[in-house]
Every structure is written in structure tokens, then in C-alpha cells.
Amino acid sequence: MKTLSLLACLLLLGGPAVVSAATPQQQRMADCSAKNKGKTGEDYKTAQKACLSGPAPMASTPQERMKTCNADAAAKKLAGDARKTFMSGCLKAH
């Protein structure tokens, strides 16, 4: 009975957070926040701004690299040979 009550409370309080995965931006914000833990005030704000505006960390798996390069190509509205060339260079760079 106690377990059932605890499960019900968890579902009511954190249901959507438990089900949904963090977006890359949310994950980056969490990583920067963890990195700057212990800092306060302007020091924290400055460190967060530097961390969030810096280059994105390299993707580690081939699927992540492909996803990142596809998103970049789509943002640049590339098509045809230009897209192939961009994708090739992007995948090699990551």
C-alpha cells in the first residue's frame, strides 16, 4: 500500500518530467549549471553565459553526428551537391 501511494505521488508530481527526455539545449543548460555549481551572483551569470555561448560539445555517436549535421544543413537550406559536400565535411569534422 505504501509503495502504491508513493508511486501515485511520483506520477502526479513528476509525471511529464519523468516521461520526456531533455532536449539538447536543456541538457547543455544542465551541464553548464553543474559545471558552475558553487558560484554565485555575477560570477555565476558570467560563467553560465560563457558556457552556453561557447561551441557545442562534439557529438559522440555516429547517430548524434548525423543528426547534428542534418540539422545544420537544414538550417542553411542546402540541397543537392552543396548538401552532400557540406554533410561530408561536417561528418568528418565531428
Using CA atoms, how far residue 56 sits from 38, 52, 72, 85, in Å, is: 23, 8, 12, 22
pTM, two decimal places? 0.39
pLDDT tens-digit profile of 23-53? 777 888 888 888 888 888 898 888 888 888 8
Taking the C-alpha atoms of residue 26 and residue 79, their distance in angstroms, rounded to an integer, is: 30
Residue in this structure with the C-alpha cell 560570477, named with its chain if needed:
43
Answer for the pair 48, 32: CB distance below 8 angstroms, yes or no. Answer: yes
- pLDDT tens, 60-93? 688 888 888 898 899 999 999 999 999 998 888 7
